[in-house]
Amino acid sequence: MRLNWVFISLFTLGLCASAFAADASLLKPPRGAKVAIVMFEDLQCPDCSKAYSIVWEAANAHKIPVVLHDFPLPMHNWAFEAAVWARYFDKISLDLGNEFRKFIYANQIQITRDNLLRLVQKFAGENKTAIPPVHDPDGKLAELVRADYSLGQRIGVEHTPTIWVVSNGGVSQPLVEEVKVREKLGQMIEDMLSKAQPTAAGQINSTPKAAARKKSIVKTPKKAG
């Protein structure tokens, strides 16, 4: 009898976890946007380097925002620190943060844990930006990266990149569809736009950085040199 109760309890917990992972309300377009692309990325992930430009090209073509979330995988030894640096450049400007991600992906094959700082310094120099001896003295940037990772775990992210097209959908919750075939991304966006609710009059896209680095600037990062 006790084993049966243990089985039932574990089964119930599994159902709860699955239900929570499917909670589409956790993924939303930025305020004022009808549809957005949401991407959980790892700067050390080779496939993320391929997906990054595809995501931005699709976003630009359809004039929708991109929402980036950090999901540095534990097996990658410099991904977390690179994400913290990306957050540092975000503080200067979102454009610069996106340029940094583009730069890291372009140079990914030659980056190691030991030479990451040298590449960061190269990027900063090329963009006429000074970097301090300690770029995250209070650990707040690292906390933002961890918060993104935690969000990814809660909604069931298991790999990078994980990409969704998100619509404001209906009144109760947004519509979310995972991008599994990138060649269909454009069509998915068009389908979502056709289902999206009109935005409220007077609303404009915003970029709240505190919780989830929502990027409403639709601009393709320049090619890294």
Token pair for 167 = 């619509």
pLDDT over 50 (residue 202)? no
Q: What is the pLDDT of residues 52-79, one digit of tens each?
A: 999 999 999 999 999 999 999 999 999 9
Q: Is 169 left (phi over 0), alpha (psi -120 to 50) or beta?
A: left
Confidence band, pLDDT 50/70/90 cuts, at residue 214: very low
What proportion of the chain, given as a percentage, has pLDDT over 70?
73
Report whether 119 contacts 169 (CB < 8 A). no
- Token pair 């966006």 is found at 189
Which CATH code for domain 24-215? 3.40.30.10
Q: What is the pLDDT of residues 143-194, one digit of tens each?
A: 999 999 999 999 989 899 999 998 886 544 457 778 888 888 999 999 888 8
DSSP-derived letter for residue 116 is: H
Provide the residue ranges of all domains of the chain, joining segments of one domain with +.
24-215
- Token pair 């990814």 is found at 152
pLDDT given for residue 198 in this prediction = 64
